[in-house]
Structures are given as C-alpha cells and as structure tokens.
Structure 1
Amino acid sequence: MEHSINFDSVSTYNKFGNHPTYHPLISVLDLSRAKPNQIKHMHMGIYAISLKGVKVGDLRYGKGHYDFQEGTLVFFSPGQVLHIESNEEWRQPQGLILVFHPDLIRGTNLARHFHEYNFFSYKVNEGLHLSEDEQEIIKDCFAKIETETKRPIDKHSKQVIVANLELLLTYCVRFYDRQFITRETVNKGILERFESLLNGYLTSDKPQTIGLPAVKYFADELNLSANYFGDLIKKETGKTPLEFIQLKLIDAAKEKIFDDRKTISQIAYELGFKYPSHFTRLFKQQVGVTPNEYRRLN
C-alpha cells in the first residue's frame, strides 16, 4: 500500500527527518539522519531547498523526473505534490535540506519580492547544478542559518535569519544565471524548437481551434515549467516568451494584411483573436499604426 505525508509545518518535517526542532518556522536538516520509510507521496505545505549528496531514487513532480544527482539544488514550494519512485532497496540519503514555513517571511522585505525567485516553481528536472565551490557557498549559508536557529530566540532572530535566507536565494539567482550561460548550446536548441513550434502553430489551424498561442502551451510542449521556460527565453533573446510570441504574431499579421481580399476582422480571427478590437490594439501598440492604416500605407 502506498503511503503519503503532509508537510504542513517545520516540526512535521523535522520528525520525518529524525531531527530536533530548534525553531518553529525554519530548520536545516542533515539527511543522513533520516530513518527508513515507505513514503511514496509528499504533500508540501512549506518551502524546501534540498542539496542532495547521492542518488536515492527518482523523484517525480508532474511530468518531470529528477534523479537526485550529486551536488544539485532542488526547490519546492507549498502546494506541490511529490512522488518518490524507486525499484531499489531503501538507501540512506545524503545531503542537506533547508525547510521554512511561509509565515517566516511574512511582513518582511523578502516577502515583497519573493515572487521573483521563479525557481521555486521550476520542475524538479530543472534543478541548479553546482560546482564544488558553489556547493561550499551554499553549505556555508545553510550553516549560518542553522547556527542562528539554535540560539535562543530574541528580537533580532527573525531579521538575522531572513537576511541569511535572502543571501542564500541571491546566490541561487547568481548560480542559475551562470547555468543559463554554461548551458548555452542546450538553451539555443530549446529556443530553436520554440521558434519552430511557434511558426508551425501560426501556419496551422490551431489559432482558430485553440486560440492565441500561449506561453504555457509551448512550455508544456518542451516539457519545461512556465517559469524556467520564461527565464531561459529572456536570457537568450532579451524578451519574455509573451513578447516573442507577440512579435511573431505581428509579423504574421503583416503578411496577411497584404492580402486585401481579407478583412481585418478575418485576419484577427485567423490569428486566434476572439475580438478584432484586441488585435487592432496590439497591432497599433507594436507597429504604431492600426492594421487598416498599415494596409493603406503599403
């Protein structure tokens, strides 16, 4: 029979990891202390940042798999359901994991821009692969947070812990930027596939049957999370996927406008717009003139 567990508090995760609770809202655990278990499903109600040491089985989230590669950071957020898949005997995990409750950062400056850390919604197969030096930096951040959690709580505790957590996340942003650069060949391959899929979409009947091309559609086709896909395309092109799609839409519209047998409304519907007025508004925003004015000028 499959077993599941709800991690709705830091103390629940500490109990699962055989670790004492020093602070009610944040904890750093040594995974080697975990006891054997038969857990197959994990329902996350807290945030987690995991630095794995050895392969202990496959982790599935949605359509993506993650093989617990050594030296990789993986991020989890409340609402995710994780599935453990392993055909092997239970193996003792190695590594570190930092877990924290959303209440930890409420009312702080970190909370106001936390949404910028897109990697908490990346798929598990989009983890952050660290060099040895980078691993040491992350471990040092973990250690500073752990040290502070073991101190008696006073009026400075939250500020110090949140500041160190923000420093850790800033390093993660830097290392992801490095990863996008060092995996340039892979990224360009994804960009080429995106362009090909987009061109194919616009020349098919999908705009009429499905609607305007959406970022999520192409992220799913490329088996990427929407946020990872968005960050990758922005790094490669300087434009968000939506901006990229809109440019392609306008290029396709310009070609169609030269066919004066078609009305502007017909062109709008062919491109997937429900309302011609929306098409006219976007066209003018991008080109500077309305579709009808563009037709007359050309």
Structure 2
Amino acid sequence: MKQIAHIATISEYNDIVDIETLHPLVSFIDYSNVKPEKRESAEAVSFGFYSIFLKEDKNCEIKYGRNSYDYQQGTLVFIAPQQIVSIIEDGKNYQPTGYALLFHPDLIRGSSLGKNIKEYTFFSYDVHEALHLSKQEKKLIQECFEKIVFELKQSIDKHSKKILVSNIELVLDYCTRFYDRQFITRDNAYTGVVEKFDTLLNNYFQSENPQAIGIPTVAFFANELNLSANYFGDLIKKEAGKSALEYIHLKIIETAKELLFDTGKSVSEIAYELGYKYPQHFTRLFKQQVGIAPNEYRFLN
C-alpha cells in the first residue's frame, strides 16, 4: 500500500514544482512553465490548503478514493484541505498545460470568505462532479486568475490580503454561478435525481432499513446514487427547491400520517418503525412540521 504524501504549506508545494514563492499563503501555478515530470504509478497526496485546478490537457487522471474525477480538458476541480487524491499518469515525461490556484486557510481566517467558505460546497464534491466550463466561462475565470497573479507580483503590504481574498472570493462566486448552470444544462446520469431520490425513499420505508439502520440520512442516499453528499444536496435543492434533509423529513411525515390511521399502533411503535430510537424526537419533528402532536392528528382524523 502506497503512503500518502502530505504537503502542508504553499511554499512546500512551490518547491516541489520548482517555482518561486511570491506569497507564503497563496500561489498560482502555470504548469506549462513547470519542468516535465515522470510518475510511474498512482501517487496519493493530501494538501494543507485549498486547491483549484484548471485542466488543459488529457494526459493525467485524478482519482478520489476508487473513483475518477469527471475531469476533462477545460474543467475545474476543487480540493479541500486534507482531502486525499491520487494523480495517475502513464509513466512518460510530459508537459502539463493546466493551472492551479492554491490558498491556505490562514489567508482567509477572520475574513468574510473564511466565515462562509463552507457555503462553497463544491470543495467537498468528489466523483464525476467537476465543473465543465464553456469558452466564455473559462475566459472569465482566467481573467480573475490574471488579477490574482498581478497582485502576487506586487510587494506585500497592508492591502495585499484584502485584495487577494476578494479576488479569490470572486472566483468562487463565479464558480457557484457556473455550477448552477451546469445542474440545469448538462445532460448526464443525474438528470431526474429527485425522482430517483423519491423512489429510494419509498423503497427505504417499505423495507426493514428503518429498524436496521435508523432514520434515513442524506449521506445514505448520496452513496446510493454514487454522489458526494454535498453534490447530491445541491442537486436536490436546485431541482426540488428544498434541501435533501427537508425532503426526507417530508417523507417521514407523509409515512407517519398513513401509519397513524392504524389505531393498533401506538405513537412510540410508529416512531420505532420509522427508525427513531427515541419517540420524543419523532413527536418533536411531527409537531414542527404539522403544527400538532401525532396523537392530536390521529384524533382529528
């Protein structure tokens, strides 16, 4: 089993690719200016910083776990700190032509971007989930990169951090917009994900899973559809107008209402049947969603 290489700092990565460190917390790499490399096999690596890669050739493949990124020419991939990836090449020397924007969490700490970085959920996407850019979108991202490069070449002063963080935030905001477009326009295996989710939910409650596994989770259904939890959640939000968790709660209430008509079962028995370990948790959700307690609903109906 291959060891995982951890690259903790921006300067450490710059040393590996043999480029000058212009700022200790930010780097931009044009791989066409990097010396050709040769890797004989998959190399697992994790970073101590956020990484955005713009792919410009087809000579290597990035894997997350056992699955390949949907990573082709003209695509962006986002990697969060500590996320383990493998870079697979054919063992031949080659000159990559992509770009990378790297920024350390310390750069954004205390800023609005630092407070909101978790909202950019694409940093937690994994398989088949890269951002495919149109020519116009790619041009816009490259223009943002150019502004960052310009700032990196200036002497570091009291304005540097604010300007760099603002431009990185602009890149991420554009990528959020482009992902929204991709959810709508890209013809892929995830079209109709709400319908598939609904079928999986129905099957879940018609099986022994609630008693065996418990209350269904977003992660469970994401895994069933071979998606990361965040990507799955964002797809559901775009298609259904509500979060995946809200959708699960609605299905629980819908199923509970049907079960409440069976007067032979107590509310506690129904809660257990739905996967709740503690019936009071079910009662609390029911009251939040319906406005009255389960026993009151049963009496009114």
Query: Does TM, scored on the shorter chain, surpass 0.5?
Result: yes
Residue 222 of structure 1: which of 212, 221, 225 is its match?
Answer: 225
TM-score, with structure 1 as normaliser: 0.95
| 1:76/1:120 contact within 8 Å kept | yes
User: Residue 101 of structure 1: CA displacement?
Assistant: 0.9
| 2:50/2:105 contact within 8 Å kept | yes
Q: What are the ranges of 5 or more consecutive residues in structure 2 without an aligned counterpart?
A: none
Q: Relative to structure 2, which stretch is displaced further, 15-24 or 215-224? A: 15-24
Do structure 1's residue 79 and structure 2's residue 82 form an aligned pair? yes
Residue 156 of structure 1: which of 154, 159, 165 is its match?
Answer: 159
Do structure 1's residue 111 and structure 2's residue 117 form an aligned pair? no
Give the match for residue 31 of structure 1: 31
Q: Relative to structure 2, which stretch is displaced further, 217-226 or 185-194? A: 185-194
Q: Relative to structure 2, which stretch is displaced further, 123-132 or 55-64? A: 55-64
Task: Look up the equivalent residue of 2:6 and give its one-letter code.
Answer: N
| 1:57/1:68 contact within 8 Å kept | no
Given the superposition, is the C-alpha separation of residues 189 and 91 from structure 1 closer, same or farther in structure 2, using an over 3 Å criterion?
farther
Written as runs of structure 1 = structure 2, the 5 A alignment for 1:11-26 is: 11-26=11-26
Q: What are the ranges of 5 or more consecutive residues in structure 1 without an aligned counterpart?
A: none
- Counterpart secondary structure, 1:50: strand
| 1:55/1:67 contact within 8 Å kept | no
Given the superposition, is the C-alpha separation of residues 260 and 4 from structure 1 closer, same or farther in structure 2, using an over 3 Å criterion?
closer
Give the match for residue 259 of structure 1: 262
TM-score, with structure 2 as normaliser: 0.94
Give the match for residue 290 of structure 2: 287
User: Residue 189 of structure 1: CA displacement?
Assistant: 2.6
Given the superposition, is the C-alpha separation of residues 64 and 10 from structure 1 closer, same or farther in structure 2, using an over 3 Å criterion?
same
CA distance in 1, matches of 2:205, 2:53: 41
Task: Look up the equivalent residue of 1:22 and give its one-letter code.
Answer: L
- Counterpart secondary structure, 1:289: coil
Deviations 1:94-144 (A, max 9, x none): 111001111111121211111111111111521110000100111111111
- Counterpart secondary structure, 1:284: helix
CA distance in 2, matches of 1:194, 1:111: 33
Task: Look up the equivalent residue of 1:36 and give its one-letter code.
Answer: E
Task: Look up the equivalent residue of 2:292 and give its one-letter code.
Answer: V
Deviations 1:46-101 (A, max 9, x none): 11000000112221112431253011000011111111234463432211100111
CA distance in 1, matches of 2:21, 2:114: 23
Residue 59 of structure 1: which of 62, 65, 89 is its match?
Answer: 62
Given the superposition, is the C-alpha separation of residues 265 and 34 from structure 1 closer, same or farther in structure 2, using an over 3 Å criterion?
farther
Do structure 1's residue 245 and structure 2's residue 285 form an aligned pair? no
Deviations 1:182-226 (A, max 9, x none): 137754432222111111001100000000000110111111111
Task: Look up the equivalent residue of 1:130 and give its one-letter code.
Answer: L
